[in-house]
Structure formats: C-alpha cells, structure tokens
Chain A
Amino acid sequence: GQQLNQSPQSMFIQEGEDVSMNCTSSSIFNTWLWYKQEPGEGPVLLIALYKAGELTSNGRLTAQFGITRKDSFLNISASIPSDVGIYFCAGRWQAGTALIFGKGTTLSVSS
C-alpha cells in the first residue's frame, strides 16, 4: 500500500530555534496535511495543502506542498515550550481514499 516516510523521528531543540521536518512518498499525492498531537489528545490539524507548490503559513508554522507532489515540509520558527508534541504528516493519493499518516516527529523543546 501507499506509505509516507516522515523524518526526523525525533528532535530535541532549545527554545528559540527553528525546526524543520519533512515527509516523502514514492507516489504522487494530491493532498498534504500536517497535524499536531499533544499528550492525552487526538491530533489537531495545523495546515492543509491542496496544490503543488503551495506555501501556507499559520502563525509561526509554514508548510509547503512539493512541486513533484511527492513531498511536503513543515517549518516552525522561533520554537517555544508549547510546541512540544508529535507532528504528523498525512496525505491522500487518490480521490475517494482515506488519509494515510506518517509515523510522526516527536518534538522536545527545552527552555
């Protein structure tokens, strides 16, 4: 089946640093989404991308839909302690199918 490769698996950074994580696939995807999960809760949508090359921001977060349609990245600028959590990429490769998720990037921020 379709798979998403998300990296890095985990990150340990200092408050104020910028963060970058990415997701790749071997197939073309027509939708890329980024979610964040905090302890004890379900994932919450951060950014949705629907067109190749699309660059979208949500506060300190920026995500891009790769022009090859096989990758996406998420950047977090000037990280703060509340950025801690697990970040998931998700994609849909074909209309009428359900979302597929990456394995997640666990972010730890020390102050």
Chain B
Amino acid sequence: DADVTQTPRNRITKTGKRIMLECSQTKGHDRMYWYRQDPGLGLRLIYYSFDVKDINKGEISDGYSVSRQAQAKFSLSLESAIPNQTALYFCATSEQWDNSPLHFGNGTRLTVT
C-alpha cells in the first residue's frame, strides 16, 4: 500500500549497531503498528500506538523501542542490534475504531551480521 511508506526497504548492519526503521503514512489514520515477520512464525506484534501520546508493547518488544513523532510517523529502533533480529519488519496503520482493518507498508528487510 503506497500510502504507508517504510524506509529503508533493505538494510544490512553489524551486531551492536543502533538502527532506526521509519514509517510514514498519508492515510490520516490514528493507529500505527510495528510487526516482525519470520519464516514459519507469521507476523508478531512489536509495538503499537493508538495516537500520538500512546505507546503500547506488543508480544515481542524486548530489544526494541519506538517513537511516535507525529500522527503520520512511527519509527522503530534497535538500540543494539543482534543477529536474531534479522527479519522482515512491517509497519501498519488503521483507523480509530476497533474493527478497522490494518493497512501494511511493503516492509523493511533487516539483516544483522
């Protein structure tokens, strides 16, 4: 979905480095999410934010932090990257109401060596 843009699309980094993945959206949605995809494990929720002042941990938040700089921007940081954080990362957005479906970006493929 071109309305949800993730940068970079691919990144290779070394163990111990700090790295930030960025997500911006033009859909005007209040809610934003970061998921991680690993083969055979599906999509697992890292963090989510229901508005600019709201941050919530997902099921696998350890080793990650997030910042909701504005309604349209939600960034994910790895303070000290480790190899098992190698994965495909997806940002998603949704409207404010609970049953609103998610709209995903095209993902960031992160490799930690």
User: A-side interface residues toward B, CB under 8 Å?
Assistant: 1, 6, 9, 31, 33, 35, 40-45, 48, 50, 88, 90, 92, 95-96, 98-104
In the assembly, what is the distance between CA of A35 and CA of B4, in Å?
Answer: 16
Comparing B13-21, B43-51, B67-75, B79-87, the segment that makes contact with chain A is: B43-51
Q: Are B58 and A98 in contact (CB under 8 A)?
A: yes
Q: Are B98 and A43 in contact (CB under 8 A)?
A: no
Separation in Å of the A5 CB from the closest CB of chain B?
11
Instruction: Report the count of interface residues on B (CB-CB < 8 A).
Output: 25
In the assembly, what is the distance between CA of A74 and CA of B99, in Å?
Answer: 19
Contact residues in B for A98 (Cβ distance below 8 Å): 33, 45, 48, 56, 58
Separation in Å of the A102 CB from the closest CB of chain B?
6
Q: Are B43 and A43 in contact (CB under 8 A)?
A: yes
CB closest chain-A residue, reference B44: A101
Separation in Å of the A30 CB from the closest CB of chain B?
8
Contact residues in B for A44 (Cβ distance below 8 Å): 1, 104
CB contact between B98 and one of A41, A95, A100, A103 (< 8 Å): that residue: A95
Contact residues in B for A101 (Cβ distance below 8 Å): 35, 42-44
Contact residues in A for B106 (Cβ distance below 8 Å): 40-42
User: B-side interface residues toward A, CB under 8 Å?
Assistant: 1, 4, 33, 35, 40-45, 48, 56, 58-59, 90, 92, 98-99, 101-107
Contact residues in A for B58 (Cβ distance below 8 Å): 98
Q: Are B41 and A42 in contact (CB under 8 A)?
A: no
Q: Are B99 and A50 in contact (CB under 8 A)?
A: yes
CB closest chain-B residue, reference A50: B99
The 9 closest A-B pairs by CB, nearest first: A42-B104, A103-B42, A101-B43, A45-B101, A98-B48, A101-B42, A95-B98, A104-B42, A43-B104
Separation in Å of the B22 CB from the closest CB of chain A?
15
Interface centre among B4, B33, B104 (most CB of A within 10 A): B104
Q: Are B48 and A92 in contact (CB under 8 A)?
A: no
Q: Are B33 and A48 in contact (CB under 8 A)?
A: no
Show 28 A/B contacts (Cβ-Cβ < 8 Å), sorted by A. A1-B59, A6-B42, A9-B40, A35-B102, A40-B107, A41-B107, A42-B4, A42-B104, A42-B105, A42-B106, A43-B43, A43-B90, A43-B102, A44-B1, A45-B101, A45-B102, A90-B43, A92-B98, A92-B99, A96-B98, A99-B45, A99-B102, A101-B43, A101-B44, A103-B40, A103-B41, A103-B42, A104-B42
